[in-house]
Structure 1
Amino acid sequence: MSFNRRKFLGTSVAASATLAAPMSYAAGHGKPHVVVVGGGAGGATAARYIANDSNGDIAVTLIEPTRTYYTCFFSNLYLGGFKEIEDIGHSYGGLAASGVNVVHDWAVGVDRDAKTVSLAGGGEVSYDKLILSPGIDFVDGAVEGWDLSAQNAMPHAYKAGSQTELLKAQLMAMPEGGTFAMVAPPNPYRCPPGPYERVSMVAHYLKENNPTAKIIVADPKEKFSKMGLFQEGWANHYEGMIDWIGADFGGGNVSVDPSAMTVTIDGEVTNVDVCNVIPAMKAGRIADLAGVTDGNWAPVNAIDMSTKADADVYVLGDSSQQGDMPKSGFSANSQAKVCANAVRGALTGSRVFPAKFSNTCWSLINTNDGVKVGATYEATDEKIAKVDGFISATGETAEVRQATYEESEGWYSGITADMFG
């Protein structure tokens, strides 16, 4: 790992000074101040739990640029016609009512020596503990011919909201018998089953509205999450519509031309009508600016999600390099609760419980055809380690699959209430 030496030394000095001096709180607060950057499944949950459970003993500020948060999880169901965009949008009013100071701005820098976060709108916010949960950004040059300037022609839709609406509009505008292409990402990435649920939802929409259309998936991986379940579902519901091209057949040798709307897979050029490019991913940029990443992800301690670069900075969810947990909304929410408990304990002396984590990822393949995969985890000295797991079986009855889908709907209602109040 290559951490900035000045920041590392400054952190060491600050830690030594804390041991020798009386506690003084950030920016003259009469109470400790926790700053959370990123208002998604990790950040919103952490902010809400710290504010709710500290009885007003900790000041909490959440920095999040958007006023409406659209969940990446369940956004594929909007593409498939099972949700409206409003169904996956959430405001921050409940967090504000819980006592969280919500600041709608971009965090553009972190000075770990001074313990401040600088904002795009000017000024800075001081902290005693900093929690970063910025989600993902994309690796430059990950897909030849594509960068963020091409995201309107070939959307990624892996940050939900306007990109999701754009991809849906392009899907709806496809000509009869047209071609939808996806460039799938390499590991690790946000929501391992996500691209394949998206393929399923696109196929569902096309089967109902454009049944002679085709779907091509160029994938750099030899296998993917719930592969057997998805391929069974594609054969049952969308026979002949989906062509998945894995690594063994050149799925990793891909380039795109957004102006010509072509995809080249292992030297073969294909004209397409819609192209969903999901590039390789890395931690959200603020984690890198804070100097707590290894260049891609932020290594953390499993016991409390604190970074290995700075004990007063924590990283949750997709941006963290924590071990066995997938990058998912459920994971981020689970990690946030462990982190919130540890931060409260560190700042107020309240009881800290042993770190336990869980995750489930649900996917919808067709109407009422839901599948899932999940596990429980524990903290070890090395990482968050998987304890046990489960996955849907191929050949399940329609009743079981419908119950799984209904379970996912209940979970969505529950987790968004847990995040936003």
Structure 2
Amino acid sequence: MAVTTSAVAYPHVLRAKASAHVVVIGGGFGGASCARRLRWANPNLDVTLVEANPTFTSCPLSNEVIASLRDITAQQFTYDKIANEGVRVIVQAATAVDAHAHKVTLADGSALSYDRLVLSPGIDLDFTTLQGYDETAPARMPHAYKAGEQTLLLRRQIEAMENGGTVVIAVPANPMRCPPAPYERASLIAHYLKANKPRSKVLILDAKDTFSQQKLFEQAWDQLYGGMIERISLSQGGRVTAVDVTAGTIVTEFGNYNPQVANIIPPQKAGRIAALAGAADHTGWCPIDPVTFASKLVPDIHVIGDACLGGGIPKSAAAAQAQGKACAAAIVAHLASKAPETPTLTGICYNIVAPGYGFSLAGVYQPKGEIFAEVEGSRTSPLDAPREMRAKEAATAETWFKTLTGDAFG
């Protein structure tokens, strides 16, 4: 199926005419993994990956970039190897989905017809929920929750801050992408400040009372950073209700703050194309059948990754990748008129709170009713682990990242 496009289009391997065409929108961990597994499972399948950016920038480990511990290039991956495996890669935004006609419209006005469509659009920031934080605000108060230029902007602001300044991180309520990430970010920013601006501090203004692996984070903060990190929880008045970007003011229910650096992470929702396709409900997220990842709202469309309502499974890179693989298997089974297997998804994530100090959280998930639920208790690093174990987990995190990105991008 030829596509005329003014954007970049990777060449693809010549092959026999496919029996079906599957289009995947979104080239992150979920979408890239799904596209590759579709081709591997059925080499005759016609698979197209639609992604607006020629280079993917990974969120996992990007907090190390903010803390000047890692270069942004270590986070970046192209789609060359995926294209060489026979997936047609179109570097262009998808702007509309006609579910009735089974058609995706691209930014240049051209269209793709599909038999099955996979949406893996990640998150969008909800600029309607936090007063004063609109589409222009991130240029002054970065969210840095989509890795790339925002990551570097926050890093530059922290590097330019005077010794004695305060970095505020505003954390929204769940659901959100990678719930532990803001606390890892606070840790690594504190590491940078301790070495370079020791009179400075990090203040977390939190819309939650508790958070994932809280005791492990707080133990690390006590051991490594003393009183450099302060957290104000929801019940203490930590929920941010408004910002004044011009004045640099952050408003909470119990008081206002004027930090030198403001990292505002707003509430989130499924990526825009999910709503345009009709796959997102009133929550802003996408309800799915957890066995096949089929949308409950639109026929012949599947939703994976951060955009879907997954129940107990977290919105994380590892979860998205596991969903992408399981979704590919379900689609291949459907096209072969076979019943899909019930997926068992495993995922693990690592938090680095300082160089040589990390801990992890792992889970196993299966469909239960309308959602995913843990079938085993989460396995987290023990609170009483020796520092040698923390160092080992920090080293393992780098291996995990290489495996994760290699599995998705080749």
TM-score range, shorter chain: over 0.9
Alpha-carbon distance in structure 2 between the residues aligned to 1:315 and 1:351: 19
Q: Report the secondary structure of 2:297's partner residue.
A: coil
State yes or no: 1:414 paired with 2:403. yes
Going from structure 1 to structure 2, the CA distance change for 1:380 and 1:265 (only over 3 Å counts) comes to: closer
State yes or no: 1:402 paired with 2:398. no
Return the match for 2:380 from 369, 388, 391.
391
Q: Report the secondary structure of 1:145's partner residue.
A: coil
Tell me the amino acid that sits aligned with residue 322 of structure 2: S
* Contact 1:218–1:254 (8 Å) recurs in 2: no
- 1:242-321 to structure 2, matched below 5 A, reads 242-295=229-282, 296-321=284-309
Tell me the amino acid that sits aligned with residue 173 of structure 1: A
Equivalent position of 2:173 in the other structure? 186
* Contact 1:79–1:205 (8 Å) recurs in 2: no
**Structure 1: 5+ residue stretches without partners:** 1-28
Alpha-carbon distance in structure 1 between the residues aligned to 2:223 and 2:363: 27
Return the match for 1:122 from 109, 121, 127.
109
Alpha-carbon distance in structure 1 between the residues aligned to 2:387 and 2:407: 30
* Contact 2:68–2:155 (8 Å) recurs in 1: no
Equivalent position of 2:3 in the other structure? none
Q: Which moved more, 1:141-150 or 1:274-283?
A: 141-150
Alpha-carbon distance in structure 2 between the residues aligned to 1:30 and 1:231: 54
* Contact 1:282–1:319 (8 Å) recurs in 2: yes
State yes or no: 1:347 paired with 2:335. yes
* Contact 1:52–1:99 (8 Å) recurs in 2: no
Return the match for 2:359 from 371, 375, 385.
371
Tell me the amino acid that sits aligned with residue 323 of structure 1: G
Q: TM-score, normalised by structure 2?
A: 0.93
- 1:2-401 to structure 2, matched below 5 A, reads 30-55=18-43, 57-295=44-282, 296-349=284-337, 352-388=340-376, 389-401=378-390
Q: Which moved more, 1:258-267 or 1:81-90?
A: 258-267
Q: Deviations over 1:191-213 (max 9, x none)?
A: 01011001011111111111111
Give the deviation of 1:179 after TM superposition.
Answer: 1.1
**Structure 2: 5+ residue stretches without partners:** 1-16
Give the deviation of 1:253 after TM superposition.
Answer: 4.5
Alpha-carbon distance in structure 1 between the residues aligned to 2:240 and 2:280: 28
Q: TM-score, normalised by structure 1?
A: 0.91
Give the deviation of 1:267 after TM superposition.
Answer: 4.3
Tell me the amino acid that sits aligned with residue 269 of structure 1: N
Q: Deviations over 1:115-137 (max 9, x none)?
A: 00111111111100000000001
Alpha-carbon distance in structure 1 between the residues aligned to 2:137 and 2:211: 26
Q: Report the secondary structure of 1:310's partner residue.
A: coil
Give the deviation of 1:270 after TM superposition.
Answer: 2.3
* Contact 1:76–1:198 (8 Å) recurs in 2: yes
Percent identity between matched residues is 39
Alpha-carbon distance in structure 2 between the residues aligned to 1:83 and 1:351: 45
* Contact 1:299–1:308 (8 Å) recurs in 2: yes
Alpha-carbon distance in structure 2 between the residues aligned to 1:353 and 1:269: 53
Give the deviation of 1:378 after TM superposition.
Answer: 1.2
Give the deviation of 1:349 after TM superposition.
Answer: 4.6
* Contact 1:301–1:322 (8 Å) recurs in 2: no
* Contact 2:121–2:274 (8 Å) recurs in 1: yes
* Contact 2:94–2:105 (8 Å) recurs in 1: yes
Q: Deviations over 1:329-367 (max 9, x none)?
A: 000000111100011111235784431101112100112
Tell me the amino acid that sits aligned with residue 56 of structure 2: Y
Give the deviation of 1:148 after TM superposition.
Answer: 1.7
What count of residue pairs does the alignment treat as equivalent? 392
Give the deviation of 1:380 after TM superposition.
Answer: 2.8
Alpha-carbon distance in structure 2 between the residues aligned to 1:204 and 1:375: 29
Alpha-carbon distance in structure 1 between the residues aligned to 2:307 and 2:292: 15
Q: Report the secondary structure of 2:145's partner residue.
A: coil
RMSD, aligned CA: 1.4
Equivalent position of 1:17 in the other structure? none
